[in-house]
Structure 1
């Protein structure tokens, strides 16, 4: 197939800010996790598929299959309003815990 470019599991973009390895990255509707660190303006590999453990709003609880949203200010959250849906929980995460396992899409 002549129009196939790549699988798209990892994309190289220009970092919009200094980014640590493993940090969530959102550019428009594109969401993923940084594969390595990069300074603003430098190339940054972003993994766009898979399951990741990420910081969440501690007051939020997730059951397996619940939608997970991303808030640039707060991390992963159960709050849809004003946030971007990025995937679903792959394990239960109780209120009071610091992280959630999320399958990004």
Structure 2
């Protein structure tokens, strides 16, 4: 195909805020995990598919297979759907004492 650009597993976007490698990044409908550090507005490569351990809201719990959402204000994974964007599914249970949740990214919206 003459119009094919790339698979889209990793895309380069302007960082919507200063990000560190491994941190969740949301810009519009795009969600991924930063492949490196970037200052706000600088280009950053984000991985849009795969399995990642993401920092989560401390009081949230997840069962295996539960939906995981992104709280763009707190920049944390959350179990709360209202006002947040679905980013994937939990691959392991995570208790309210866990700092992270293992997420298989949705790769789509």
Q: Are the aligned partners of 1:12 and 1:44 in contact in 2 as well (CA < 8 Å)?
A: yes
Q: TM-score, normalised by structure 1?
A: 0.93
Query: Alignment length, in residue pairs?
Result: 105
Unaligned 5+ segments in structure 1 are none
1:19 & 1:76 partners in 2: Cα distance?
A: 15
The answer to whether structure 1 residue 76 and structure 2 residue 77 are counterparts is: yes
TM-score, normalised with respect to structure 2: 0.90
Counterpart in 2 of 1:20? 20
For the Cα contact (< 8 Å) 2:90–2:103, is it kept in 1?
yes
Alignment RMSD, CA only? 1.1
In the TM superposition, structure 1's runs of 4+ consecutive aligned residues that sit over 4 Å from their partners are none
Provide the rounded CA distance (Å) in 1 between the counterparts of 2:52 and 2:76.
13
| TM alignment of 1:1-80, pairs within 5 A | 1-72=1-72, 73=74, 75-80=76-81
Structure 2, unmatched stretches of 5+, are none
Matched-pair contact (CA < 8 Å) for 1:57–1:74: no
Q: Distance in 1 between matches of 2:40 and 2:96?
A: 34
